[in-house]
Amino acid sequence: MKMNVKFGIGAMLTAMLLVSMVFSPDVSAQPMQDSKQETKIIIEPNFELEQGLVDALNSNLYNASKDDIISNYINNNKEKIKAQKDVNIATLKGDELRSYTLKDGSDIIFSGDWTFYVSEIKEEQINPLTRAGISYTPIITHSYSAYSWVGPRLFSIYTKGYFEYDGTTVEAHHMDSWYTRGTLSVWQVSNWEEGKYDHSSGTYSEFYGRGNFYFGFEIDGGNLILQDEYINLYVKCDEGGDYEKEMTKY
């Protein structure tokens, strides 16, 4: 099982608008307008903060939830987080999307702005009816959770299913896909789709959940950061039963 994360850099650069006054104390949060404007602040990477969060998640001595570990880490490092500097949007590059694999097999992705993400897979063994030459993957739940450096979890997306394969062909069985809202000031989901796709060759199949997520969260005493992203969360598998969790974001 592998994990791939794909970001549409060209689209992301277009969508991210640097708002020079967003941190100014005389700027207050504005209500959501009909014409949506994405305001995405790019921050200078702080590798010490990132590594500290990775270490905190890896040294989970009390079996706490990721939400609790991340929230505690942010609360304990507020001054360092506030000290992060805004940088010109032109400096954003693909190699600034940094991914680390944690001890529990999940991945944490830092994206060069005020958000970061945790992607993970959970497996459940199934006992299907025995059929000659047919094999099954476990039931796979792929989750993708977005967090901000200034507060709790923003939202999570999930997709769940399994694959049936025989070495020549593969078929996806989609069970469910859904999303949950965390702590957000602005929240809207549109064009939500879920299901499965079987390639005509029979050697590739996937199940997915995807849609447009428009969300906003407050920073610096009430200033509002708005982001509009299309997220496609899926698990794909080949005819040999090798599967990967993937996510594309634009």
Q: pLDDT of 24-49, one tens digit each?
A: 333 333 333 333 344 444 455 678 88
Q: Which domain holds residue 118?
A: 2-23+38-249
Mean pLDDT computed over 105-119: 87
Domain membership of residue 234 (yes or no) is yes
Domain membership of residue 152 (yes or no) is yes
Are 186 and 173 within 8 A, CB to CB? Answer: no
**Does the pLDDT at position 221 exceed 70?**
no
- What's the total number of domains in the chain? 1
Q: What is the pLDDT of residue 114?
A: 78
pLDDT tens-digit map of 50-104: 999 999 999 987 889 999 999 999 999 988 887 765 543 334 444 467 889 999 9
Contacts of 175 (CB under 8 A, 6+ apart): 139, 160, 161, 162, 207
DSSP state of 77: T
Domain membership of residue 62 (yes or no) is yes
Output phi, psi for 16, to 5 deg.
-85, 115
Comparing 120-134, 183-197, 235-249, the range with the smallest average pLDDT is 120-134
Q: Is 78 helix (H, G, I), strand (E, B) or coil?
A: helix
CB atoms within 10 A of CB 36: 13
Are 182 and 150 within 8 A, CB to CB? Answer: no
Confidence class for position 2, pLDDT limits 50, 70, 90: low
Domain membership of residue 102 (yes or no) is yes
Domain membership of residue 233 (yes or no) is yes
**Does the pLDDT at position 10 exceed 60?**
no
Domain membership of residue 30 (yes or no) is no
Report the chain's mean pLDDT, rounded to a whole number. 79
Are 170 and 157 within 8 A, CB to CB? Answer: no
Comparing 10-19, 70-79, 100-109, 177-186, the range with the smallest average pLDDT is 10-19
Q: What is the pLDDT of residue 237?
A: 98
Residue of 107, 115, 124, 145 whose CA lies nearest to 12: 115
Domain membership of residue 51 (yes or no) is yes
DSSP state of 238: E
Q: What is the pLDDT of residue 60?
A: 83
Domain membership of residue 29 (yes or no) is no
Mean pLDDT computed over 176-198: 93
